[in-house]
């Protein structure tokens, strides 16, 4: 845990692209949920800039499109939050068991990383670039705060195929509907794998 925590999405994506450059020469897909969706999107662009083949698909789950961050997050996470504010947000997202949230020792270990993660989202700046060439599949939770319009805005980020699939549940629908989400991922990737 001695490694410094990133608070700049582009720097992190560039580092990951550099580390994954050789791996990305074989067929691959990218999947990210929430903050991870933005990171996967930026990673796809950074790998493209390095001359790597496009991913077979990009799966963006549980967050508004990069162009819709202002009306999704607003300025809410541009500054570091107190421990109490972070715990309150985790409760609101309903993805962390209460016994974890009240465990002071465990929270003291995880809150610095969570704080950096929220700052990654809050300080994220969209950069206009040519659209990706890969299929882009967006998955959302019906009760999550990302609106249909915010999710559909991902469409402009690719020249490839686009799909939006909604699942019952909130922000952590990927856990609540794990079997259905995995079936959707498999259905999207299976034809691509056969043709790769």
Q: Which residues are catalytic?
A: 34
Angle at 155 between CA 150 and CA 60, to 5 degrees: 70
CA distances from 13 to 6, 16, 60, 108, 162 (A): 10, 5, 15, 27, 23
CA quadruple 9, 13, 14, 19: dihedral, nearest 10: 140
- Cα 52 to chain centroid, rounded: 21
């Amino acid at each position: 845990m001695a490694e410094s925590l990133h608070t700049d999405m582009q720097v992190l994506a560039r580092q990951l692209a550099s580390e994954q450059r050789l791996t990305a020469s074989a067929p691959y897909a990218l999947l990210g949920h929430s903050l991870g969706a933005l990171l996967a999107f930026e990673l796809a662009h950074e790998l493209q800039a390095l001359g790597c083949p496009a991913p077979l698909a990009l799966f963006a789950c549980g967050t508004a499109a990069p162009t819709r961050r202002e009306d999704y997050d607003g300025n809410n996470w541009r500054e570091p939050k107190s421990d109490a504010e972070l715990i309150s947000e985790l409760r609101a997202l309903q993805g962390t068991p209460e016994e974890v949230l009240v465990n002071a020792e465990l929270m003291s270990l995880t809150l610095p990383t969570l704080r950096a993660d929220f700052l990654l989202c809050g300080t994220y700046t969209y950069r206009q670039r040519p659209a990706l060439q890969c299929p882009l599949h967006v998955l959302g939770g019906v009760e999550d705060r990302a609106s249909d319009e915010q999710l559909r805005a991902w469409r402009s980020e690719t020249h490839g195929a686009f799909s939006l699939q909604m699942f019952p549940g909130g922000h952590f629908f990927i856990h609540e509907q794990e079997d259905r989400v995995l079936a959707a991922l498999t259905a999207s990737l299976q034809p691509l794998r056969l043709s790769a």
